[in-house]
Protein backbone atom coordinates (compact mmCIF):
# COMPACT_ATOMS: atom_id res chain seq x y z
CA UNK A 1 0.00 0.00 0.00
CA UNK A 2 1.50 3.34 -0.98
CA UNK A 3 1.17 6.60 0.96
CA UNK A 4 -1.76 7.69 -1.23
CA UNK A 5 -3.69 4.47 -0.54
CA UNK A 6 -4.60 5.15 3.07
CA UNK A 7 -7.84 4.92 4.97
CA UNK A 8 -8.38 6.04 8.55
CA UNK A 9 -11.53 4.98 10.40
CA UNK A 10 -12.53 7.02 13.45
CA UNK A 11 -15.05 5.37 15.79
CA UNK A 12 -17.57 7.27 17.93
CA UNK A 13 -20.51 6.01 19.98
CA UNK A 14 -23.18 8.68 20.43
CA UNK A 15 -25.29 9.04 23.57
CA UNK A 16 -28.19 7.30 21.80
CA UNK A 17 -25.97 4.26 21.10
CA UNK A 18 -25.47 4.96 17.39
CA UNK A 19 -22.00 4.03 16.16
CA UNK A 20 -20.47 6.61 13.82
CA UNK A 21 -17.57 5.58 11.59
CA UNK A 22 -15.81 8.59 10.05
CA UNK A 23 -13.63 7.57 7.13
CA UNK A 24 -10.75 9.62 5.81
CA UNK A 25 -8.77 8.83 2.66
CA UNK A 26 -9.42 6.36 -0.12
CA UNK A 27 -11.91 3.50 -0.02
CA UNK A 28 -10.55 1.19 -2.69
CA UNK A 29 -9.02 -2.23 -3.38
CA UNK A 30 -6.05 -1.49 -1.12
CA UNK A 31 -8.07 -0.23 1.84
CA UNK A 32 -11.57 -1.74 1.69
CA UNK A 33 -10.52 -4.60 3.98
CA UNK A 34 -9.95 -2.06 6.78
CA UNK A 35 -13.58 -0.94 6.71
CA UNK A 36 -14.78 -4.51 6.16
CA UNK A 37 -12.95 -5.61 9.32
CA UNK A 38 -14.43 -2.81 11.41
CA UNK A 39 -17.93 -3.57 10.16
CA UNK A 40 -17.45 -7.29 10.79
CA UNK A 41 -16.39 -6.54 14.37
CA UNK A 42 -19.62 -4.55 14.84
CA UNK A 43 -21.94 -7.31 13.53
CA UNK A 44 -22.91 -8.49 17.00
CA UNK A 45 -23.70 -4.91 18.09
CA UNK A 46 -27.39 -4.14 17.37
CA UNK A 47 -26.79 -0.37 17.42
CA UNK A 48 -27.42 1.67 14.27
CA UNK A 49 -24.24 2.40 12.30
CA UNK A 50 -23.56 5.59 10.38
CA UNK A 51 -20.68 5.55 7.88
CA UNK A 52 -19.56 9.13 7.22
CA UNK A 53 -17.72 9.49 3.89
CA UNK A 54 -17.29 13.29 3.98
CA UNK A 55 -13.49 12.97 4.06
CA UNK A 56 -13.26 10.15 1.48
CA UNK A 57 -11.85 11.40 -1.82
CA UNK A 58 -12.04 8.17 -3.85
CA UNK A 59 -14.24 5.07 -3.84
CA UNK A 60 -13.77 2.19 -6.27
CA UNK A 61 -15.90 -0.89 -6.84
CA UNK A 62 -14.24 -2.75 -3.94
CA UNK A 63 -15.15 0.03 -1.52
CA UNK A 64 -18.66 0.18 -2.90
CA UNK A 65 -19.02 -3.59 -2.50
CA UNK A 66 -18.10 -3.33 1.19
CA UNK A 67 -20.72 -0.60 1.73
CA UNK A 68 -23.42 -2.53 -0.15
CA UNK A 69 -22.66 -5.77 1.70
CA UNK A 70 -22.76 -3.94 5.05
CA UNK A 71 -26.19 -2.56 4.19
CA UNK A 72 -27.48 -5.96 3.01
CA UNK A 73 -26.09 -7.69 6.11
CA UNK A 74 -27.73 -5.09 8.36
CA UNK A 75 -31.05 -5.60 6.59
CA UNK A 76 -30.84 -9.36 7.15
CA UNK A 77 -30.19 -8.73 10.85
CA UNK A 78 -32.91 -6.07 11.06
CA UNK A 79 -30.26 -3.50 11.93
CA UNK A 80 -29.34 -0.29 10.19
CA UNK A 81 -26.32 1.02 8.31
CA UNK A 82 -26.59 4.51 6.87
CA UNK A 83 -24.01 6.05 4.54
CA UNK A 84 -23.76 9.84 4.77
CA UNK A 85 -21.49 12.61 3.54
CA UNK A 86 -20.81 11.33 0.03
CA UNK A 87 -19.04 14.15 -1.80
CA UNK A 88 -20.79 15.56 -4.84
CA UNK A 89 -17.64 14.90 -6.88
CA UNK A 90 -18.02 11.17 -6.14
CA UNK A 91 -21.75 11.14 -6.82
CA UNK A 92 -21.48 12.89 -10.16
CA UNK A 93 -18.64 10.74 -11.45
CA UNK A 94 -19.73 8.70 -14.47
CA UNK A 95 -18.32 5.58 -15.93
CA UNK A 96 -16.59 6.11 -19.29
CA UNK A 97 -19.22 3.72 -20.69
CA UNK A 98 -22.00 6.12 -19.65
CA UNK A 99 -20.48 9.12 -21.38
Res 87: pLDDT: 82
- CATH assignment of 7-87, among 3.30.1600.10, 3.20.20.70, 1.10.3720.10, 3.30.750.24: 3.30.750.24
> What mean pLDDT comes out for the span 78-93?
82
pTM of the predicted protein model: 0.84
- Binned at pLDDT 50, 70 and 90, residue 4 comes out as low
Summarised one tens digit per residue, pLDDT across range 27-63 is: 999 999 999 999 999 999 999 999 999 999 999 999 9
Cα–Cα separations (whole angstroms), residue 9 to 20, 24, 51, 92, 94 = 10, 7, 10, 24, 26
- Give the start-to-end residue ranges of the domains of the chain: 7-87
Amino acid sequence: MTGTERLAVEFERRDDGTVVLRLNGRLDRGTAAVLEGVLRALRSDPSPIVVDLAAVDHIDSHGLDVLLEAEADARRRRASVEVVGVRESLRSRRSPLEE
